[in-house]
Amino acid sequence: MAASEAASVSVPRHVAIIMDGNGRWAAARGRPRAFGHRAGVEAVRRTVRAAGELGITHLTLFGFSTENWRRPAEEIDALFDLLRRFVDADLDRLESEGVRVRIIGRRDNLSPDLRAIVERAEARTASNEDFTLTIAFNYGSRDEIVRAARALAERVRQGEIAPEDIDAERFACHLDTVGLPDPDLVIRTSGERRTSNFLLWQSAYAEFVFLDVFWPDFSREHLEGALAEFAGRERRYGGVKLHGTA
């Protein structure tokens, strides 16, 4: 997926999006929540295409959280079915366009067919380097951090490393996102102003943009607006800007 020649140097390398508002979008139209999720998949397709054209190289989308298991069974089944359909319908195109697909989140409690779909999408696109699409599915950041801590604790117990060997870099290597750059920009749709257990470790220095648009209506123009807001911000990573310096 080639980046636009007009892409600005201020375009973030990695954008993460909390896709929120499918259910409310559907309810406003008198339709079931599953209808909103189907419309949300079309917004995913638009956003993946626009992100690549705008010069973004990594896009992470929050598709299904570990807390979403509390939703009605029929809605969960519909969400899982959409993942199946998305992979079946889009994998050939994504592969041919140089998109690498990664799925982060727990897999131990997914059905065998869903695990097979996830593994197939990752295996077929593993060698692509133009653009990385990461889908957070059955993902929760606290769960991810706990799993990383357990993995490190087991390595200490086995005598592979000492406790003092554990630092931020080694910890990050045990997260689901190992190998991915931290997000520069996190966008949330639907007007909500919270992170909802999404990339808590990785977004420590990310910029946040909250948009009053439901995810099914999210467009290239909304993405461009978020990028323009990002470009106008000053990122200091905990430092200060001295007077008279660039």
Judge whether 22 is annotated as a binding position: yes
CA distances from 205 to 32, 73, 81, 132 (A): 37, 36, 34, 20
pLDDT value of position 4: 43
Q: Quote the tokens at residue 148.
A: 């990383």
Total H helices, total E strands in the chain? 7, 6
Share of the chain above pLDDT 70, in %: 93
Residue 106 φ/ψ region, left for φ over 0, alpha for ψ in the -120 to 50 degree band, beta for the rest: beta
> What CA–CA distance (Å, rounded) separates 235 from 207?
8
Judge whether 95 is annotated as a binding position: no
For residue 216, give the DSSP letter.
Answer: G
Lateral strand order in the sheet of 207-210: 99-104, 131-139, 58-65, 14-18, 185-188, 207-210
Judge whether 142 is annotated as a binding position: no
> What CA–CA distance (Å, rounded) separates 34 from 26?
8
Q: For 98-242, where are the E strands, in sequence order?
A: 99-104, 131-139, 185-188, 207-210
Q: Tell me if 98 sits within 8 A of 128, measured CB to CB.
A: yes
pLDDT value of position 243: 52
CA distances from 102 to 105, 123, 138, 227, 241 (A): 10, 9, 13, 23, 37
pLDDT tens digits for range 82-113: 888 888 899 999 999 999 999 999 999 888 99
Q: Which residues contact 155 (CB under 8 A, 6 or more apart)?
A: 161
pLDDT value of position 85: 85
Strands 14-18 and 58-65: parallel
The CA-based diameter of the chain, rounded to the nearest angstrom, is 60
pLDDT value of position 188: 98
Single-letter amino acid, residue 29: R
Judge whether 67 is annotated as a binding position: yes
- Write down the CATH number for the domain with range 14-139+182-231: 3.40.1180.10
Can you give the pLDDT of all 246 residues of the chain as single tens digits?
A: 444 443 445 899 999 999 999 999 999 999 999 999 999 999 999 999 999 999 999 999 998 898 888 888 888 888 888 888 888 899 999 999 999 999 999 999 888 999 999 999 999 999 999 999 999 999 999 999 999 999 999 999 999 999 999 999 999 999 999 999 999 999 999 999 999 999 999 999 999 999 999 999 999 999 999 999 999 998 777 766 655 444
Judge whether 69 is annotated as a binding position: yes
pLDDT value of position 47: 97
> What CA–CA distance (Å, rounded) separates 79 from 44?
14
3-state secondary structure of 193: coil
Give me the active site residues, please.
Answer: 20, 68
Q: Quote the tokens at residue 50.
A: 């626009």
Judge whether 245 is annotated as a binding position: no
Domain spans of the chain, in order of start: 14-139+182-231
pLDDT value of position 242: 52
Closest CA to 206 of 176, 237, 240: 237
